[in-house]
Structure 1
């Protein structure tokens, strides 16, 4: 068996893993990265990037259909045609470009990349089943960055017409009738995109609300949009059976049993850490359910073993994994670094988009008085010129000193505002700081200033 030695072994080439490996190598650490498939991980290959590309293409097609019908802003076109094969080729091209960029980054950084599947022998030794045979890697430090996989439902194993998000993104054609089980962000994003591409979509959610992590006011515009797009929504409803021969999904809701015919069923009920086959039983790691517990430097309970990203407790977001990867690279290289983030921004690329940073009003600790202010995009010039004035920006500030604790928004393009929201919280700004900063006109960002003005003094246009 071939044997390799290194100072740092990173298992997993997703956003957290490749950032950790490339940064560590550039800091002078002898680094090996092991990835069983293609560098870039779920996010670049089968998640964030291809889904956003599909969402964009779906919006273009949906607008063209509207322009060919009643028209939009006085623009009418002839009947549009969807060549979904070309759409998929374009999406794949975007993915390829980014993944090739990651591979080039690792090479330029001096990272040795090993394609294969890793399994722990002990905390310092990993056996990799590579394309050319088994390789034994001995490392002073090991990072577990293997990400997550979709959760299956009993009676609905993935395969055939039962789709996970990966299969949904690889469809040769939009299905005529699509059932989506789970109205979280993945289900809403893909379900909405496929509805705009012509699918008859039914959303099925076991709970009483879509996007249950957010309050009703924040999700209400997205819910209204589902209705406008003709997407049927079944809340407080569970899937109780599937007949693959007839393509019938059995549902149990508040009004009793319902049978739903579907050409495909997309299951988006959550994700779990991807640790199967990794040999974690050979290690003595402290776990929190299926997640690996880490400290503020991403150390596990074993010396020299780190974990980052979706395998650790916290939001399953690529940018959190990247931030953790930076920390581990610095720590292994001998530099001081630790997790001291005030917030982790989150975006749902629904229609309209939803962006959140910091605390929701309901998440403020008991005993902390707050002032909550909002500004509607209906009074924002830029939103009106985009013909997309549904939504608002909301600021949650501590009443005693007006320090911003949270910012939420739903509306057109709010994903591009979220970094500014995060900056305000990370730097400890008060609403007066935001209110006193000149915001360019006409822009969507003015809604943030107006929401701040509503607490600091008075909104100019509220």
Structure 2
């Protein structure tokens, strides 16, 4: 023990790193954690938490409109104030970051607020103070970082999802470059805040990797919400105009002018300059730390969890990976994370909830399928007059009757899919769904009342 300053050194105080640090300390390990930015990581500081608060704000416009159909008369025209939202969200982020700090302090984890670089299998160098820390185990939990792929002239004139939360004023026009969930969520919420949004994506459809029926319906819903979609197109260069706005020149079609260009073309594991390769750690093609099912790298004393491993890049997955690592290495209770059945949500409006295999993935895996689906107008819309639809889909293995996947597009899809994820993870069959009594009236009851498979 005397050969090491700490038992565990964690690089990165995001969700996965802080969970690992706290659990390891609870098992009696001496733990130090380093964070060069703000404690809390991507999710708390510049990701899912502030974004979800923005999503809530964006949905009030339709709520005000819908209220009239239910007999409500508002005293005046609703008015949105961007600085109020921006600053309220920033304050909540600060509060949550403080709670993360208190959690680490309460667990007696030593905190170093500076960059840390790996110098060997057991050595970490703190960059501000120059302190060299010898650790029995090192955990890399540095997450991911936005990228503009491929780099283009004028790319620096765009902003990433890191900066979008701090705009000095709400733009009148915004160009969003990308077709993944981050691009779509911001395009959706800003359009509902009154911004004229154009979304440009190089693919022929949005949201690659999700079920095809859901992708098509979300694409149509975004168009209906007033978002201009330009698919099959790329940005060649961006220039700044005399008034400070941007003009994006596209490979096909007219250029696009906007006050803000949000580049959401992907994220890469945040391993650049960490010294991992020099320490013998094998990295993958996009810079990810290559790990086994126990989150161990090619160097036995160095582990990695979360987005930096590029496995399933979701906050709850990073938390479970960090917990499993700490229990396994320091608690004498080894276990691993199942990455196969993980529920996810896309907080567009309408939102997506998904768990398990898509129809395309299931066919590719060789299953013979029964596919059940339902599309209907939600009860609320019958009086509000809004022409929205909810879509639900069950992917069922004909041979075993097991539900392989569930996909929902519509209001509260994320909330619904969390509960459904329990059933799918447990291996529920379609018969299990069928014998579950429906909760009426609700949208979710459709999941247990679908009886006839698609022809």
Partner Cα distance (2:339, 2:263) in 1: 33
Which of 354, 357, 360 is equivalent to 1:356?
Answer: 354
Deviation per residue, 1:366-388 (Å, 9 max, x gap): 4321211113343x657767868
Q: Give 1:74 shift.
A: 4.2
Deviates more, 1:365-374 or 1:303-312: 365-374
Q: Specify the alignment match of 1:114 in structure 2.
A: 112
2:194 corresponds to 1:195: no
Q: Specify the alignment match of 1:171 in structure 2.
A: 167
Deviation per residue, 1:339-390 (Å, 9 max, x gap): 3344121110011111111100100144321211113343x65776786851
Partner Cα distance (2:8, 2:266) in 1: 31
Q: Specify the alignment match of 2:266 in structure 1.
A: 270
Q: Give 1:174 shift.
A: 1.5
* Residue correspondence of structure 1 range 83-162 to structure 2 within 5 A: 83-130=81-128, 133-153=129-149, 154-155=151-152, 159=156, 161-162=157-158
Give the TM-score taking structure 1 as reference length: 0.90
* Residue correspondence of structure 1 range 284-299 to structure 2 within 5 A: 284-289=280-285, 290-299=287-296
Partner Cα distance (2:370, 2:381) in 1: 25
- Secondary structure, counterpart of 2:251 in structure 1: strand
Partner Cα distance (2:309, 2:425) in 1: 22
Q: Specify the alignment match of 1:43 in structure 2.
A: 43
* Residue correspondence of structure 1 range 18-417 to structure 2 within 5 A: 18-64=18-64, 66=65, 71-77=68-74, 78-130=76-128, 133-153=129-149, 154-155=151-152, 159=156, 161-246=157-242, 247-253=246-252, 257-289=253-285, 290-333=287-330, 334-364=332-362, 365-378=364-377, 381=379, 390-417=389-416
Partner Cα distance (1:405, 1:118) in 2: 42
Distance change in 2, residues 1:157/1:111 (3 Å)? farther
Partner Cα distance (1:405, 1:375) in 2: 17
| Aligned residues between the structures | 443
Deviation per residue, 1:156-208 (Å, 9 max, x gap): 5665x511012111112221111111121111111111111121111101010
Q: Specify the alignment match of 1:435 in structure 2.
A: 434
2:443 corresponds to 1:444: yes
Partner Cα distance (1:383, 1:31) in 2: 53
Would the aligned equivalents of 2:4 and 2:136 in 1 still touch at CA under 8 Å? no
Would the aligned equivalents of 2:153 and 2:236 in 1 still touch at CA under 8 Å? no
Deviates more, 1:320-329 or 1:105-114: 105-114
Would the aligned equivalents of 1:238 and 1:251 in 2 still touch at CA under 8 Å? yes
Deviation per residue, 1:100-121 (Å, 9 max, x gap): 2211211222211111101111
Q: Give 1:401 shift.
A: 1.5
Q: Give 1:218 shift.
A: 0.3
Greater strand share, structure number: 1
- Secondary structure, counterpart of 1:292 in structure 2: coil
Partner Cα distance (2:168, 2:61) in 1: 17
Alpha carbon RMSD of aligned pairs, Å?
A: 2.3
Distance change in 2, residues 1:238/1:129 (3 Å)? same
Deviates more, 1:182-191 or 1:97-106: 97-106
Would the aligned equivalents of 2:176 and 2:187 in 1 still touch at CA under 8 Å? yes
Would the aligned equivalents of 1:209 and 1:216 in 2 still touch at CA under 8 Å? no
Would the aligned equivalents of 1:372 and 1:395 in 2 still touch at CA under 8 Å? yes
Would the aligned equivalents of 2:174 and 2:195 in 1 still touch at CA under 8 Å? yes
Would the aligned equivalents of 1:124 and 1:142 in 2 still touch at CA under 8 Å? yes
Distance change in 2, residues 1:343/1:14 (3 Å)? same
Q: Give 1:423 shift.
A: 0.9
- Secondary structure, counterpart of 1:280 in structure 2: coil
Q: Give 1:236 shift.
A: 0.6
Q: Specify the alignment match of 2:418 in structure 1.
A: 419
Q: For structure 1, which runs of at least 5 residues remain unmatched after alignment?
A: none
